[in-house]
A and B are shown apart, each in its own frame.
Chain A
Amino acid sequence: MNPTELSAHGKSGVSRRAFLKGSGAAAAATALVHGPGLVAEETKPNVVSVGLNTITLDVNGKQQKVDVEPRTTLLEALRLGLNLTGAKPISVDGSSGGSTVLLGGKPVSANSILALECIGKPIVTVEGLGGNSTAISGEIAVGAIDPVCRAFVNHDASQCGFCTPGFVMAVKAFLAKNPKATEAQIREGLNGNLCRCGTYANVIPAVVDVVKGARNGS
């Protein structure tokens, strides 16, 4: 079966955004039609087909096409569809924070949300923080990567590193809401992310540093 095109553009000229507005953001409200190759017709905007659909996601500022099933999580779409593997599958729910990404500016566990629910909302993954290079080097130029990533590197706030991308995204969201967070607030506000190696003691000063850096305008 060929993936069916879900984005509503073409004949009727309905924009994807308008289409989504009509469809409602929640996939739960989306009717499922069983049967092969069913097309989400523009006249029936609330219908998606069982099986693969091609959708367009706004990831790290780019419109990216990805094939998903109605049951595909955002995490699976990112990791397997777009090969953006920074967000990690650690828990079955949101309890590890390992798959944290920003959706419409808010932190969500990408494994607890369906890809279809994310159409039309800007998604930022850890890869969107400027660290596209796989180069192995301990020295980072200011401006090369996000200040949160840089502070994590400078404070050695990663060990095995598997939880780190989720942690970085959680910190990013936390500081967006609490740009002047005190150490006490940092200790209160970042308990959604699990680290097994025990990097918390390094994460705390890293976040303190980002707050300080922002204050100093660096």
Chain B
Amino acid sequence: MAVEYTWPPRDQTSVLGGSHNKVDGTAKCTGAAKYSYDINPDQMLLARALGCPHAHCKIKSIDTSAASKVKGVHLARALKKPGDEIRWQGDLVAVVVGETEGAVAEGLAAIKGDYELLEVFVNEEDLKAAEAAKRADKSGGKVQLQNEPEDENKDFENQEIERLFKEAAVVVEGYYGIRAITHMCLEPHGSTCDWRDGKLTAHLSTQNVSGTAGQFAGPLKITTDDITVHCDYIGGGFGSKFSADSWGTKCAELSKELNRPVKLMLDRDLELKNAGNRPSGFANVKIGADDQGVITIWDSHHWSTGGFGGGSVPQDVMPYVIVPPNFRRRVTNVKTNTAAARAWRAPNHPQGSAMSQTAIDDVAAKLGLDSYDVFLRNLVNVKDRGDVYAEEMKIAAKLIDWKAKWHPHGKGPAQGSIVTGLGMAIHTWGGGGVPSGCLIKIHPDGGVESFAASQDLGTGTRTVIAIVLAETFGLPVSAIKVNIGSSKLPASSPSGGSITVASVSESHRHGGLDALAQMKKLVAEKLKVEADSLVAKDGRIRDKSDPSKGLSWKEACSLLGMNALEVKGRGAPSPKSKLSSSGVAGVQMAEVAVDRETGVVKMKKFVAVQDMGLVVNRKTAESQIYGAMIMGIAGALFEERILDPKTGAFLNAEIADYRLPRLGDIGELVVEIYEPDSERARGVIGLGEPPVISPGAAISNAVCNALGVRVGVLPLTPKQVLDTLKARKA
């Protein structure tokens, strides 16, 4: 019988799409879950790194001699040599290994560094200054015009764009931006490395269990078969933990050298300075639109920094989702004395959204139109899923009561100094899976276990796998023992780009259905029926129409004989697959209250309507969306990396100084999953990134609607708001 790789219809599921507690929820909520930071092998030594105090300098010397003599210190070593250039503050220059935290701290304090200071540039927002400092590079762009030049008109591009702006009913020009933020993983980057008998076990805090083992091989002069990367739990990654990193391999080398397990986790400030930041983005935007707000021409220039090497928000997210038929976009890369940017949940989309969907809202403001209507009309300029956006907009508007609450920009009633406003934005993401493997074992006593070198970022990977296999075998979720988190298991996808759930759902459903086919064959032979007539349901493999005819799961498994049934699962997501797909829409609407006297913005209500194909676990899916909204509120109202423009020092690299929302800052959050049959039929699509994209623009638009003035650059801190209001008055 050919196995058909599909999901059961909605009305025939038993656990798929339900609301399930995370299978590892108890471990996480009782402190039993062990993170890399928590692994304490016998005889373990502690290591800490020293960061360079200067943002740009040359090393003259790093003297570790005094540190080596500190009681309890086993080793103090420079990680840089004289002449090496340091290009951002906090780059690791030395490491100390010792018996206790205190000894290591004392050792670090005893290290003497001598540096030759070099010119620093960190203020990428000031493009003119960046150009003057020779830190700005034009990095291309794109022009798309419907009309073609009639002859060899070299100035056609400028003339045509000028003509389109002249013909536009309204022209809006604005400056928009979003400052750099850090990943701020609460478990910093690092590892506990255990070298024993020529083999390495690296308890690495990683989003990439399958892909990091090989990175230790070169530095340790061994081959990957002698390396195990282990990560049962990871305390946040958000795109910053795909690599073993220099401090990861250093930790392993130290363990080998000292022949003791070594734990090297970054201190909080070094974590923020080194181990992950999201590029900023600033843009000058000019838009032409018709009198209904439909955009006819877009012209933008954006710039940003991806760190010392440059790099930037790429051109293709401008304009974002709503792309008119005529546009020109240009990009400039700025090099700053900051660490290299890393992928940050939905890379580049939040910046694209914040720099362009704000501008679209300004078109509505200028025309005195309802933002909802302007976004709706501009769906003609959306390439994919225009109908999904329209439906999601309807649902979101109803949930936030848009029609009743709407007022034109700046025209709402004020209560003292408090004004309220509404704003919205739309987003898109891929979320398709990648080829991944797994192994499924069915034991003769009925036990079921699965193995894959995947990881759980907090999205509930274990639970997703358990649900997929439970549904496949007709068993309760608790009957499936899921094993992930070791590189010795069958290779699976890294967790980034929202690919995990689609990847593991594909591989485990594939393998599960193949295993079930073999189980059905055994049962069919025993009962002398056709395997095709059997179904796995309610803990039995039984006749589709006659539930009494069949065997319990346990009885069926006993037919396996002595050995477990082992089946490999191969996930091969493709456009043809009925199990998974790629590409989602998503709409968010925010209601805020702004105090014109203090500049404080408060979230009142925030609605997210999100499609994700087929929902595997409703409870964790909703949590992902709530979490993304809160992370989005952080970027919209609170967090930014603050650098001293003169020295390049990272001024807020501690949790007390780096502002993030707390429990009391989130207002009322409403999540609605959009899963009509048409979406469910597309199969599983990843969800982690999309809902984190829109909050910046949606909240900025709500603030603009409240104030009648655009606060162009996120985060909308009280200072930003007050400065903007002051500039407007002047």
In the assembled complex, B531 has its CB within 8 A of some CB on chain A: no
Interface locus among B33-41, B110-118, B500-508, B709-717: B33-41
Q: Are B186 and A168 in contact (CB under 8 A)?
A: no
Contact with B along A65-93 (1 / 0, CB 8 A): 00001011100100110011111111111
Number of A-B contacts (CB under 8 A): 230
Q: Are B655 and A96 in contact (CB under 8 A)?
A: yes
Contact with A along B12-32 (1 / 0, CB 8 A): 000000001111111111111
Q: A126 — which chain B residues lie within 8 A by C-beta?
A: 30-31
Given contacts A154-B21, A194-B662, A196-B236, contact A134 B32 (CB under 8 A): yes
In the assembled complex, B482 has its CB within 8 A of some CB on chain A: yes
Q: B656 — which chain A residues lie within 8 A by C-beta?
A: 91-93, 95
Q: List the B residue with the shortest CB-CB distance to A134.
A: B32
Q: List the B residue with the shortest CB-CB distance to A95.
A: B656
Given contacts A88-B187, A96-B186, A197-B236, contact A158 B630 (CB under 8 A): no
Q: Are B235 and A162 in contact (CB under 8 A)?
A: yes
Q: Are B477 and A138 in contact (CB under 8 A)?
A: yes
Q: Are A149 and B26 in contact (CB under 8 A)?
A: yes
Contact with B along A18-59 (1 / 0, CB 8 A): 000000000000000000000000000000000100000000
Interface band, chain B: 35 or more
Q: Are A201 and B20 in contact (CB under 8 A)?
A: no
Contact with A along B105-141 (1 / 0, CB 8 A): 0000000000000000000000000000000000000
Q: Are A200 and B30 in contact (CB under 8 A)?
A: no
In the assembled complex, B56 has its CB within 8 A of some CB on chain A: no
Interface locus among B62-70, B215-223, B455-463: B455-463
Q: List the B residue with the shortest CB-CB distance to A170.
A: B663
Given contacts A72-B102, A136-B482, contact A164 B664 (CB under 8 A): no
Interface locus among B401-409, B566-574, B620-628: B620-628
44-100 of chain B: CB within 8 A of chain A: 46, 71, 100
Q: List the B residue with the shortest CB-CB distance to A130.
A: B30
Q: B27 — which chain A residues lie within 8 A by C-beta?
A: 131, 134-136, 161
In the assembled complex, A7 has its CB within 8 A of some CB on chain B: no
Interface of A is mostly: loop
Report Cα–Cα, A137/B33, bound state, in Å: 12
Report Cα–Cα, A7/B654, bound state, in Å: 37
Report Cα–Cα, A127/B268, bound state, in Å: 25
* Residue in A138, A158, A188, A196 whose beta carbon sits within 8 Å of that of B664 in the complex: A188
Q: Are B627 and A198 in contact (CB under 8 A)?
A: yes
Contact with B along A153-181 (1 / 0, CB 8 A): 11011111111110010000000000000
* Residue in B31, B185, B627 whose beta carbon sits within 8 Å of that of A127 in the complex: B31
CB distance from B290 to the nearest CB of A (A): 39
Q: Are A127 and B30 in contact (CB under 8 A)?
A: yes
626-659 of chain B: CB within 8 A of chain A: 626-631, 634, 654-656
Report Cα–Cα, A146/B29, bound state, in Å: 10
Q: B623 — which chain A residues lie within 8 A by C-beta?
A: 156, 159, 199, 202
27 sampled A-B residue pairs with Cβ under 8 A: A69-B100, A80-B40, A85-B34, A86-B32, A93-B656, A127-B31, A130-B30, A131-B29, A136-B26, A136-B481, A138-B22, A138-B26, A138-B463, A159-B623, A160-B235, A191-B664, A192-B662, A193-B662, A194-B660, A196-B186, A198-B626, A198-B628, A198-B634, A200-B630, A200-B663, A201-B666, A202-B623
Q: Which residue numbers of B lie inside 8 Å of A, CB to CB?
A: 20-35, 37-38, 40, 46, 71, 100-102, 184-187, 233-238, 265, 267-269, 457-459, 462-463, 477-478, 481-482, 619-620, 622-624, 626-631, 634, 654-656, 660-666, 669
Which 6 A-B pairs rank lowest in CB-CB distance, beginning with the nearest? Answer: A131-B30, A86-B31, A198-B630, A162-B235, A159-B458, A161-B28
Apart from A145-B29, A160-B186, 6 more pairs, CB < 8 Å: A93-B655, A126-B30, A136-B24, A138-B477, A139-B21, A187-B663
